[in-house]
Amino acid sequence: MASEGKIDPMHQFTVERIGPKLEIAGYDVSFTNSALWMLLALLVIGLFMYGGTRRQLVPGRWQLAVEGLTGFVRNLMDTNIGPAGRKFTPFVFSLFVFILVSNLLGMLPLAIIPGMHAFTTTSHFSITGLLAIMSFALVLIVGFWRHGLHFFSLFVPHGTPIYMLPLIIPIEIVSFLVRPFSLLLRLFVAMMSGHILMEVFGSFIVNGFASGSPMGFGVGIISFVFIVGVGALELLVCALQAYVFALLTSLYLNDAINLH
Amino acid sequence: MDLESAKMIGAGLAAIGTGAAAIGVGFVFGSFLQSALRNPAAADGQQGRLFLGFALAELLGLMAFTVALLILFVF
């Protein structure tokens, strides 16, 4: 990746085809490394949930971990939406766990094996965009289902003076329509910038030590210390971004269910 | 100045926005800590709002980052 001192931080995000080229109606539907890492995420989640949902009367460690995770999301829904939010818990839980696991899988240090590198599915616009559209579509469907055209009163906050309405309504509409973009942009940019940062400083280490000069050695040492800290921070960001996505989805659902 | 160097300068200027977002995120967590230490009993109930404020402040920095990337790689 970083041969001849040239740092190429965007290379890790390329989607590569694995296996034969498949086409359906002019669209390339080949199996890619992105699909592979999504399947891996599915496998990890499936194993985790399967091991923990054996309904033991006295939960073991594994079941306790699963119960902790589900209880965390249920708490989130209860505090933000209330009892009406219970039936949307599985959706928010799936979003949260998928984002969390694919973020963490992307952090795996597989690049020490030549020719392999971990692929972060959530660092791609198309995937976070799909997740954001799903949650936004659910908000719209639930809102119109429960309230009909009364859902549009979402754009008129309570107690707004009449003469402020021409100003408030466009602002509310724009802020409503921006929601899916803010969801997709936050997750995708946070993951991508973190991985670029780690790639750049990782290349500093390699190039610094490879240069052989005392100064290059110093740069390598400093970069190494720095990247350990950044790695820890990235693990925090992985969990935080998944939590923020789930939190914002639950808040938007709250708007659709309870009409603020 | 040719286009290439103008692009580089523009991307660097756009990256300043991430620093501004850092100030915003610092304000969010700083004021949360200030008030949480005064009333620790009420702090846990406000964590959702803390992360909401963090997410909103962070988003603007990420937008600056996106603009820098757009300048560098798209145009």
Over residues A165-189, the mean pLDDT reads: 89
Complex-level ipTM = 0.76
For testing contact with chain B, the best of A122, A182, A249, A250 (most B CBs within 10 A): A182
**Per this entry, what is the length of chain B?**
75
Structure confidence at residue A1 (pLDDT) = 40
Closest CA to A134 of A179, A176, A172: A179
Domain positions in chain A: 3-258
Over residues A167-193, the mean pLDDT reads: 89
Residues of A in contact with B58 (CB under 8 A): 186, 190
Residue A3 has pLDDT above 50, yes or no: no
Q: What is the pLDDT along chain B (75 residues), one digit of tens a residue?
A: 788 888 889 999 998 988 999 999 999 999 999 999 999 888 888 888 888 888 888 888 888 888 888 888 777
Structure confidence at residue B37 (pLDDT) = 93
CA distance A148 to A142: 9
Q: List CB contacts of A70: < 8 A, sequence separation 6 or more.
A: A93
CA distance A17 to A44: 22
Residues of A in contact with B55 (CB under 8 A): 186, 244, 247-248
Residue of chain B whose alpha carbon sits nearest to that of A241: B55
Structure confidence at residue A5 (pLDDT) = 53
Q: Which of B51, B65, B73 sits opposite A244 (nearest CB)?
A: B51
* Largest pairwise CA distance in chain B: 59
Contact B63 A10 (CB under 8 A): no
Segment A208-234, tens digit of pLDDT? 888 888 888 888 899 899 899 988 988
Structure confidence at residue A6 (pLDDT) = 66
Contact A76 B48 (CB under 8 A): yes
Residues of B in contact with A189 (CB under 8 A): 62-63, 65-66
Q: Which of A76, A79, A190 sits opposite B62 (nearest CB)?
A: A190
Chain A residues bordering chain B (beta-carbon distance below 8 Å) = 10, 76, 79-80, 182, 185-186, 189-190, 193, 240, 243-244, 247-248, 251
Lookup: tokens for A36? 């592979």
CA distance A91 to A246: 9
Sketch out chain B's domains with CATH numbers. Answer: 3-74 (1.20.20.10)
Report the predicted TM-score, pTM, of the whole model to 2 decimal places. Answer: 0.86
Segment A232-242, tens digit of pLDDT? 988 988 998 99
Lookup: tokens for A152? 């549009």
